[in-house]
Amino acid sequence: MFFIKEERGFIMSSIDSAIDLNAGSVSENVKTTLRGELVLAFAVIINSLGVVLMLYSGTGISAISSVPYAFSEVFPKITLGTFTYMFQGLLVLSLMILRKKFVPSYLFSFVVGFIFGECIDMHNMWVPMLPTAIGFRVMYFIISYCLISLGIALSNRCKLPIIPTDLFPRELADITGVAYSRIKISFDVICLAVTACLTGLILGHVKGLGIGTVVAAFTMGKAIGLVGRWLDKKFDFVSFMKK
């Protein structure tokens, strides 16, 4: 009888342990659900701040805003934010031509892009008040790099139309079947080449490009991918458009 009770106790203990392990495994797989609308609003704010901070760091403008920046330097009476949503409108039109059809969600994307441009002008009003010592500038670049990487990764998962400069590489990857990271890096490099040519030919010197710009252009696509994979493990996203 003693052995039977001991064996029964061992079996029950094993079952309890298995249940505890299974519960732990389930809890690890539970994801937090985030509203895409809030995620997109947050992404627009941190992306626009990242763009302005990177420029203020003195390491160069981010690739996604380099073309609008070049035009704002050539035509200084028009703000960077205004040229930003003008450029984004051109990207939306290009996607519709590639799709060979009218895509209503792209118009919403342009509206988001307009708000993004206004946020850039808003951040430009207070960021110049920050300290300019070299240590701070290095910190601004690191923060801006992280903000933009996180912002784009969030935008790609919010299940809503996103700003055209982020939408364009994602949609082009879908249209062509080429990996997003490759498309993103190529898009950034082309933007930088256009900026260099435009400022070099018209202003007589290349402006807005620096070591930070080059580093971001060649590495940010992979950084966005890493952040995205982490987000996929931790969060689910829902919006009024997609559940």
Q: List phi, psi (to 5°) of 235.
A: -135, 150
Give pLDDT, residue 31.
Answer: 86
Tokens describing residue 179:
């990996």
Give pLDDT, residue 129.
Answer: 95
Give pLDDT, residue 46.
Answer: 96
Residue 159 has pLDDT above 60, yes or no: yes
pLDDT digits (tens, 9 = 90+) for 38-54: 999 999 999 999 999 99
3-state secondary structure of 236: strand
- Band (14; pLDDT cuts 50, 70, 90): low
What's the N-to-C CA distance of the chain in angstroms? 57
Closest to 87 in 3D by CA, of 106, 105, 71, 100: 71
pLDDT digits (tens, 9 = 90+) for 112-151: 888 988 999 999 999 999 999 999 999 999 999 999 999 9
Instruction: Judge whether 231 and 153 are in contact, CB under 8 Å.
Output: yes
- Band (20; pLDDT cuts 50, 70, 90): low
Give pLDDT, residue 28.
Answer: 55
Between 11-15, 157-161, 215-219, the lowest mean confidence (pLDDT) is in 11-15
Percent of the chain with pLDDT over 70: 87
Average per-residue pLDDT for the chain: 85
- Band (243; pLDDT cuts 50, 70, 90): low
pTM: 0.77
Can you tell me the distance from the alpha carbon of 64 to that of 163, in angstroms, rounded to the nearest whole number? 11
For the chain, what percentages of helix, strand and coil (3-state, to nearest 5) are there? Answer: 80, 5, 20
pLDDT digits (tens, 9 = 90+) for 192-216: 899 999 999 999 988 888 888 888 8
Residue 127 has a CB neighbour count (10 Å cut-off) of 14
